Amino acid sequence: MSDTTPEMLTLHAAFAAKIDAVLAELEADGALPPETPRHNVTVEPPRDSSHGDLATNAAMVLAKLAKTNPRELAGKIVDRLNADPDIIEATIAGPGFINLRLSDEAWLNELGAIAQSGSDYGKSAIGGGSTVNVEYVSANPTGPMHMGHCRGAVVGDALASLLEFAGHKVVREYYVNDAGGQVDVLARSAHLRYREALGDTIGDIPEGLYPGDYLVPVGEHLARELGDRFKDSDEADWLPVFRAESVEKMMDLIKADLALLGIHHDLFSSEAALQAAGKPEEAEKWLRAHDLVYDGVLEAPKGKAPPDDWEPVELPLFRSTKFGDDQDRPIKKSDGKWTYFGADLAYHMQKAETADALIDIWGADHSGTVKRIKAAVSALAEGEGKAIPFDVKLVQMVQLMRDGEPLKMSKRSGNFITLAEMVEEVGKDVVRFTMLTRKPEAQMEFDFAKVVEASKDNPVFYVQYAHARISSTMRKGAAEGLEPSADGIAQLGEAELSLVKQAAQFPRIVEAAAKAREPHRIAFFLYDLGGEFHSYWNLGNDKPEKRFIVAQNQELSRARLFLAAQIGQVIRNGLSILGVEAVEEM
């Protein structure tokens, strides 16, 4: 490859550009109409590698526009591609696929690109510097994180990193629901613990309050801070103080839990502060002016018996039925306070003010509320002259297992597993990687016994072990005075080449994953790359001449070490997106 410009294109980008250039030539010749749309044209490795290194469907997609049949158009494209020295062969196959076989040199040069870019290899500019706000976790500040929060936390965090890697600015945001009724419950529970700390006997925790031990230190803290002046006073006196104090303590707890998973948000937004600033009123005013909020009576729930205390009341309702929802949704409660939804739509407007796109990561148990919030946001955003892309990604439930048996969890019985316990038992990397080796919209099982197995059945172990093997090889090379070098790279053969080809997919995978907003694709890529590496490594079991360091040939050893170093780099880059450590040894 003759490409030695500083802004080195990755291999796939370079060849996609070559094909694009050919299409431009055909436009100039009149074989294609001017400004032929290219969005359907793909350039990707064929499923079957015997077909070649890259394949494009350009001829099939564009044949109609060219007023010809796919194979004939393919012929014109192939003729031009065959003139390129980096393309050994361009052939037409099947209905009109164009298969390209690239020179070994073109592939091997990608190793140089990896070395040159280092930890930047695979980064993309498709984000164009636009700001994406990713809101994830947003667990209620009423207790420690438990397992149910885990998947959304990991997926949201990896997605944020992925988008950064793909050229977006990212804001990682946590919405603190510190304004609702459950915070009163928290405050009352904390008050009980406060009295306990001051020597009162509290007995069993009354029904409806939080029984967890985690409130004991909060009560002790409050007793130290406040003395006994709220011990016997009216609830109205102490409630605001206890709310604020206990929410703060719960957020400390939650942040510590998240840190165990390597998760750190940029921004914590308070619902109470939002309301104090009058944001929901602003939103309501605009919605009423556009007849999207009206005072009406809620319908009784359909399809099941209404609750005992059901009674029709008039409330301000958002016209979400206009957007496909089952019924209109209240933005205020009968006590005059904002509903969660009423505050949430104002909150999304607030986020939209500083971002170009919004993403929410929610648990599947909130699926019923997606329509109303999407409707409200698009109505409000357009009203303010700023339509904003808004995605709600639902993360499905995780079924916890131990040795193939489902673990029953219920808050009522107190039998639930906290995030901290889980991380302590299996480790951060295992939790993160396992949560990411499944597409988020499918339910998954998490078996405590299986995920810690140190064997090839376990994807986390498999990928980390590949990196550890590379590290140990590099150490061994260094001990023998062998520095990695690209000089002898031409000596690398078929087996090494297929490893390079796998690693060279990374930039493509990053872009595809970022566009689809699916971080799990990175995890699967790493698993495949690790597999490719291990099978290459295994060649050395029987054939010492296939090992990275071969006594007889220093130049080959140095070239193979160069290869190993670049594979290690790609694994590190991928793992960094997932927030999983690339270990040096195991």
Torsion of CA 501, 505, 506, 512, to 10 degrees: -170
Torsion of CA 464, 467, 471, 476, to 10 degrees: 100
Nearer residue to RNA within complex by CB, 197 or 361: 361
Q: Binding string, 163-182, against RNA, x = CB under 7 A?
A: --------------x--xxx
315 binds RNA (CB under 7 A): yes
244 binds RNA (CB under 7 A): no
Q: How far is the CB of 93 from RNA (least distance, A)?
A: 3
Nearer residue to RNA within complex by CB, 242 or 548: 548
Token reading at 35: 């400004």
CA-nearest of 315, 380, 307 to 344 is 380
455 binds RNA (CB under 7 A): yes
Q: How far is the CB of 241 from RNA (least distance, A)?
A: 19
Judged by CB under 7 A, the chain residues 17 through 76 that form the site for RNA are 39-42, 44-48, 50-52, 55, 57, 60-61
364 binds RNA (CB under 7 A): yes
Burial string for 99-125 (b: 16+ CB within 10 Å, else e) reads bbebbbebbbbbbbbbeebeeebbbbe
Judged by CB under 7 A, the chain residues 272 through 301 that form the site for RNA are 298, 300-301
CA-nearest of 344, 332, 342, 331 to 175 is 344
Judged by CB under 7 A, the chain residues 513 through 532 that form the site for RNA are 515-516, 518, 520-521, 524, 531
Nearer residue to RNA within complex by CB, 230 or 548: 548
Nearer residue to RNA within complex by CB, 44 or 220: 44
With CB under 7 A as the rule, give the number of residues binding RNA: 95
9 binds RNA (CB under 7 A): no
214 binds RNA (CB under 7 A): no
Judged by CB under 7 A, the chain residues 252 through 271 that form the site for RNA are none
Nearer residue to RNA within complex by CB, 202 or 300: 300
540 binds RNA (CB under 7 A): yes
Stretch in the footprint of RNA (CB under 7 A) among 123-131, 253-261, 328-336, 345-353: 328-336
445 binds RNA (CB under 7 A): yes
Token reading at 191: 């008050």
143 binds RNA (CB under 7 A): no
CA-nearest of 541, 551, 563, 540 to 491 is 563
Q: How far is the CB of 513 from RNA (least distance, A)?
A: 9
Query: What DSSP designation does 304 have?
Result: S
Residue with tokens 């629901």: 177
Q: How far is the CB of 54 from RNA (least distance, A)?
A: 9
437 binds RNA (CB under 7 A): yes
Q: How far is the CB of 265 from RNA (least distance, A)?
A: 17
Judged by CB under 7 A, the chain residues 389 through 408 that form the site for RNA are 394, 396-397
Residue with tokens 């994830």: 136
Q: How far is the CB of 185 from RNA (least distance, A)?
A: 9
Nearer residue to RNA within complex by CB, 217 or 301: 301
SS3 at position 168: coil
In whole angstroms, give the CA distance from residue 116 to residue 10. 11
Angle between helices 520-542 and 150-165 (to 10 degrees): 80
The count of C-alpha atoms lying within 13 angstroms of the C-alpha of 463, restricted to the half-sphere facing its C-beta, is 27
335 binds RNA (CB under 7 A): yes
- Full DSSP string of 367-381: GGGHHHHHHHHHHHH
Nearer residue to RNA within complex by CB, 381 or 398: 398
Q: Which residues pair with 338 in a beta bridge?
A: 332
Non-local (6+) Cβ contacts of 340 within 8 A are 177, 180
Among 285, 443, 478, 480, binds RNA (CB under 7 A): 443
Q: How far is the CB of 41 from RNA (least distance, A)?
A: 6
Token reading at 101: 């076989």
347 binds RNA (CB under 7 A): no
Non-local (6+) Cβ contacts of 414 within 8 A are 211, 212
534 binds RNA (CB under 7 A): yes
Q: How many CB atoms lie within 10 A of CB 377?
A: 23
CA quadruple 574, 580, 581, 583: dihedral positive or negative? Answer: negative
Stretch in the footprint of RNA (CB under 7 A) among 157-165, 376-384, 448-456, 568-576: 448-456
Among 234, 291, 309, 494, binds RNA (CB under 7 A): 309
Among 229, 304, 408, 412, binds RNA (CB under 7 A): 304
Query: Residue 548 in contact with residue 557, Cβ under 8 Å?
Result: yes
Query: What DSSP designation does 93 have?
Result: E
Nearer residue to RNA within complex by CB, 213 or 335: 335
SS3 at position 361: strand
Token reading at 13: 């980008």
Query: Residue 88 in contact with residue 535, Cβ under 8 Å?
Result: no
341 binds RNA (CB under 7 A): yes
Q: Binding string, 88-127, against RNA, x = CB under 7 A?
A: -----xxx-x-x----------------------------
Nearer residue to RNA within complex by CB, 170 or 563: 563
Nearer residue to RNA within complex by CB, 28 or 551: 551
Torsion of CA 101, 103, 106, 109, to 10 degrees: 130
Nearer residue to RNA within complex by CB, 146 or 221: 146
